[in-house]
């Protein structure tokens, strides 16, 4: 067997892919001296995003996290009118995706809310509608759900929308990773970011379309869009001086960054096509191994932002994770995410563990966690039982990983990565 040599140039998980128009739009902004948080790039990008996603209004912000914060304020205002500034969700439980980036959840806490984590289902790696139902039965007065579509795969939207309507809860869609992903269900039809009351897209450097940073808030309500425009520019009133009646934020998008996103957005279809090709090459390459790719429903068309891999439970070698370190024992015919990630790193390729579930994070250790069977806290301690978890999120965290998914990775590089992973299972 020939040895596989490390890549001379690092193969990234997901790096920006620039095309040229980005620079044209930045140049226009500089030539016209709109080097600020207003200008044509922002205006055009907002129109472009609203029409692309299928929402009526879009507001360009400094990050996806800032956009989520604005969603929390709006939701809090509706559910809990008259709350103190900065405490829009005071005393409120908020049902949140559990296996996600903490930026999905932190904005709940910025406004004094209490995240309650909802377990993950194995069919799309997103919020489990069965667990969400349990959560509504357990805490029926909860009026807000924050749902992430992980790795560009739409969640089970029909079931989740049905429950939100039944329990009259608002839905915030964290579509940060899912720009361009589509779902055609019975209740929910369209692009991710168009199903909730409010939605968020991120243009962070590793997302499928990027501006280096930046985010977009989406809504059907013109009034809400105007509120977010005002709040994100320090809540200035219409007066000849700086007049303030509400708490303000400096969250508006820069017109230069809007130029990068605007140019990059022209290529979203190509980006999705190349990510899809990467996913399919992995799926074919790993067909003979005891692993599977991150799954999606037949009514969903993901954007394939990151390709995920799950090792079959009976082909996991022993692996334990502590708070910051890990150990595993290689065994013939078996492997595990830690071993695969080590091997990728040796080859100068970047993989990543799947998002460590929020209920396992020290910062959220005391928050409620609901599985399809009820309180997840009562039955599992995912730290101790990693690999033998009783909840789906901890199980996917133990057995899953994100593969290098950069759309500048060549098919030859990818073939070597596939071969290297295959050899771990010999
Ligand atoms: C990237 C990301 C965010 C945050 O977006 P930023 O623009 O980096 O603030 C939020 N939620 C999820 C699921 C993300 O992946």
Neighbouring residues of 419: CB distance < 8 A, sequence distance ≥ 6: 4
Half-sphere exposure at residue 86, Cβ-oriented, CA atoms within 13 angstroms: 3
Q: Are 201 and 215 in contact (CB under 8 A)?
A: yes
Handedness of CA 419, 424, 425, 426 (dihedral sign): positive
Span 60-116, pLDDT tens digits: 999 999 999 999 999 999 999 999 999 999 999 999 999 999 999 999 999 999 999
Query: 177: Cβ below 6 Å to ligand 1?
Result: yes
The first and second tokens of residue 316, run together, are 């996991």
Mean pLDDT of 255-278: 98
> Per-residue confidence at 386, pLDDT binned at 50, 70, 90?
very low
Dist. CA 315 → ligand 1 center (Å) = 32
Using CA atoms, how far residue 218 sits from 8, 128, 224, in Å, is 41, 24, 9
64: CA distance to ligand 1 center in Å?
5
Report the nearest-CA residue for atom 6 of ligand 1: 64
Task: Indicate whether residue 98 lines ligand 1 (CB < 6 A).
Answer: no
pLDDT of 384 over the 50 cut: no
pLDDT band at residue 388 under the 50/70/90 scheme: low
Buried b (16+ CB within 10 A) or exposed e, 67-90: bbbbbbbbbbeebbeebeeeebbe
Query: Best of 14, 100, 174 to mutate for ligand 1, by most ligand atoms within 8 A of CB?
Result: 174
Where is pLDDT greater, at 210 or 383?
210
Question: Atom 2, ligand 1: which residue's CA is nearest?
Answer: 176
Q: Is the dihedral of CA 31, 36, 42, 44 positive or negative?
A: negative
CB of 216 closer than 6 angstroms to any ligand 1 atom: no
Minimum mean pLDDT range among 275-284, 354-363, 380-389: 380-389
User: Which pLDDT score is estimated for 232?
Assistant: 98
Rounded-to-integer distance, Cα 203 and Cα 16, Å: 10
Ligand 1 close to Cβ of residue 367 (< 6 A) = no
Report the nearest-CA residue for atom 8 of ligand 1: 204
With a 6 Å cutoff on the Cβ, whether 173 touches ligand 1 is no
Q: What is the rounded distance in angstroms from the CA atom of residue 141 to the CA atom of residue 95? A: 11
Residue 142, token pair as written in the block: 């909860």
| Mean pLDDT along residues 5-26 | 97
Using one digit for the tens of pLDDT, what is the confidence trace for 29-39? 999 999 999 99
- CA 54 vs. chain centroid, Å, equals 19
Distances in Å between the alpha carbon of 76 and those of 326, 363, 415?
40, 23, 49
Q: Which domains does the chain have, with CATH numbers?
A: 21-265 (3.40.640.10), 268-424 (3.90.1150.10)
**Distance, CA of 234 to chain centre:** 27
Alpha-carbon span 55 to 32, nearest angstrom:
30
* CB-ligand 1 contact for 210 (6 Å cutoff): no
Give kind and range of the element (H or E) at residue 264: helix 255-265
Is the CB of residue 97 below 6 angstroms from any atom belonging to ligand 1?
no
Contact between 356 and 324 (Cβ < 8 Å): no
CA of 316 to the centre of ligand 1 (A): 30
Are 360 and 117 within 8 A, CB to CB?
Answer: no
The whole-number average pLDDT for the span 164-178 is: 98
Spacing, Cα 162 to ligand 1 middle (Å): 26
Neighbouring C-alpha atoms within 13 Å toward the C-beta of 411: 7
Tokens of 230: 């005002």
Do residues 29 and 41 lie in contact, with contact meaning Cβ atoms separated by under 8 Å? yes
Ligand 1 pocket member 371 (CB < 6 A): no
Question: Collapsing DSSP states into helix, strand and coil, what is residue 295?
Answer: coil
Percent of the chain whose predicted confidence (pLDDT) is above 90: 94
| Cβ of residue 103 lying under 6 Å from some atom of ligand 1 | yes
Print burial letters for 19-40: b (CB count within 10 Å at least 16), e (below 16): eebbeebbebbeeeebeebebb
What are the pLDDT digits (tens) for 359-381? 999 999 999 999 999 988 877 55
Q: What is the DSSP letter of 382?
A: T
DSSP state, 302? -
- Please state, in angstroms and rounded to a whole number, the distance separating the CA atoms of residues 100 and 147: 9
What whole-number distance in Å separates Cα of residue 359 and Cα of residue 91? 19
User: Could you give the percent of the chain with pLDDT greater than 70?
Assistant: 97
**pLDDT on residue 389:** 65
Query: Contact, 388 vs 400, CB < 8 A?
Result: no
Phi, psi of 239, deg, nearest 5:
-150, 160
- Complete edge-to-edge strand list for the sheet that includes strand 182-184: 189-191, 182-184, 300-301
Tokens 């939100």 belong to which residue? 164
């Amino acid at each position: 067997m020939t040895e596989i040599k490390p890549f001379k140039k690092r193969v990234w998980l997901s790096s920006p892919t620039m095309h040229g128009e980005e620079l044209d739009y930045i140049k226009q902004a500089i030539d016209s001296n709109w080097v600020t948080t207003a200008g044509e790039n922002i205006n055009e990008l907002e129109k472009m995003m609203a029409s692309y996603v299928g929402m009526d209004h879009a507001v360009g912000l400094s990050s996806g996290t800032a956009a989520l914060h604005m969603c929390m304020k709006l939701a809090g205002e509706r559910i809990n009118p008259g709350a103190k500034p900065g405490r829009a969700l005071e005393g409120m439980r908020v049902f949140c995706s559990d296996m996600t980036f903490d930026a999905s959840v932190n904005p709940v806490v910025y406004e004094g809310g209490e995240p309650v984590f909802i377990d993950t289902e194995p069919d799309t790696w997103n919020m489990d509608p069965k667990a969400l139902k349990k959560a509504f039965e357990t805490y029926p007065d909860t009026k807000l759900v924050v749902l992430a579509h992980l790795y560009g795969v739409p969640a089970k939207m029909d079931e989740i929308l049905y429950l939100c309507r039944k329990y009259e809860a608002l839905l915030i869609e964290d579509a940060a990773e899912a720009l361009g992903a589509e779902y055609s269900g019975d209740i929910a039809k369209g692009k991710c970011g168009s199903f909730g009351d409010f939605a968020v897209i991120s243009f962070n450097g590793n997302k499928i379309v990027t501006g280096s940073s930046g985010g977009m808030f989406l809504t059907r309500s013109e009034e809400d869009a105007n509120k977010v425009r005002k709040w994100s520019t320090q809540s200035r009133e219409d007066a000849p001086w700086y007049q303030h009646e509400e708490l303000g934020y400096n969250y508006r998008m820069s017109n230069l960054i809007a130029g990068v996103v605007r140019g990059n957005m022209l290529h979203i279809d190509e980006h999705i096509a190349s990510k899809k090709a990467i996913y399919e090459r992995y799926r074919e390459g790993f067909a003979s191994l005891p692993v599977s790719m991150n799954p999606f429903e037949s009514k969903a068309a993901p954007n394939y932002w990151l390709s995920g891999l799950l090792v079959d439970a009976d082909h996991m070698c022993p692996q334990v994770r502590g708070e910051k370190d890990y150990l595993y024992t290689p065994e013939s015919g078996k492997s595990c995410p830690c071993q695969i990630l080590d091997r990728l790193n040796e080859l100068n390729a970047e993989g990543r563990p799947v998002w460590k579930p929020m209920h396992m994070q020290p910062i959220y250790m005391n928050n409620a966690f609901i599985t399809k069977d009820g309180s997840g806290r009562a039955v599992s301690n995912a730290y101790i039982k990693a690999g033998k978890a009783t909840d789906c999120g901890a199980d996917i965290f133990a057995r899953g990983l994100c593969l290098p998914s950069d759309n500048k990775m060549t098919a030859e590089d990818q073939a070597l990565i596939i071969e290297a992973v295959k050899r771990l299972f010999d």
